[in-house]
Amino acid sequence: MTKYYSINFDLPKRNSKNIIFVILHYTGMKKESEAIKRLCDSTSKVSSHYFIKNNGKVLNLVPDQYTAWHAGISYWKKFKSLNKYSIGIEISNPGHDHGYKKFSSKQIISLIKLLKNLKKKYNIKKQRILAHSDIAPNRKKDPGEKFPWKKLAKINLSKWHNLNNYKIKKYRNSKLKVFEEKKFLNNLSQFGYKKIKNKKEKTNLIKSFQRRFRQNLINGKIDKECLLISKNLIK
């Protein structure tokens, strides 16, 4: 791991007991070098604790004991402004605006090693290893639908449902009754997502859920497949 410090963090040091989340991001920039530069630029007002390059090399930009500026306006369960409770990991990827691509195998190998270390060091629950889009669905899409959440779940590094994808796929695009849609939204709130206030927020929330748990169809619409997955997640 390479030390490559950013000065974008809060003082003083935080208590390690307050580190209870890991938030995963993609950089969303055309060039990897520009993304690193931005995270270390004092005028950008953004940073992360770790940066994983395309070749799998891990940069440590901000020491864990300081609050980095990666989550922004965010919410999960009772927690708001998750910067102070989390470790932020940026993974090099141009993102949806610049030619979104699959994450490299070297990146995922490095990420898994890093997550295992952080999870053990800070006793972080797998349910609290989250996407930026989970905690800020109205602003963010990262790390997106090409991120291997299911693979992480198999090694206890994220939450995933245990339903048979082939069996539940037959319920895709099936129309729900009003009370079933409400049940879906309540399930998401119970899982941790912020409650919605309007139609636009509803669509953003559904897409965020789909990018995480139904990655091959992101249409912003609730169907029975989504409902079944949401029920399973809160068991």
Give Cα 126 distance to the centre of its chain. 12
pLDDT band at 4 (very low <50, low <70, confident <90, very high): confident
Active site residue 181: no
Look at residue 25 in the predicted model and tell me its pLDDT: 98
pLDDT, average across residues 96-104: 98
Look at residue 1 in the predicted model and tell me its pLDDT: 78
Report yes or no on whether pTM surpasses 0.95: yes
Q: Which of 34, 90, 201, 225 is catalytic?
A: 90
Domain ranges of the chain: 2-154, 165-233
Give the pLDDT confidence of 102-144 residue by residue, as tens digits.
999 999 999 999 999 999 999 999 999 999 999 999 999 999 9
Considering the segment(s) 2-154 as one domain, its CATH architecture is 3-Layer(aba) Sandwich (3.40)
Specify the DSSP class assigned to residue 1. -
Peptide bond into 137 cis (omega under 30): no
Q: What are phi and psi of 33, to 5 degrees?
A: -65, -35
Give the pLDDT confidence of 155-199 residue by residue, as tens digits.
999 999 999 999 999 999 999 999 999 999 999 999 999 999 999
Residue range 165-233, CATH number: 1.10.101
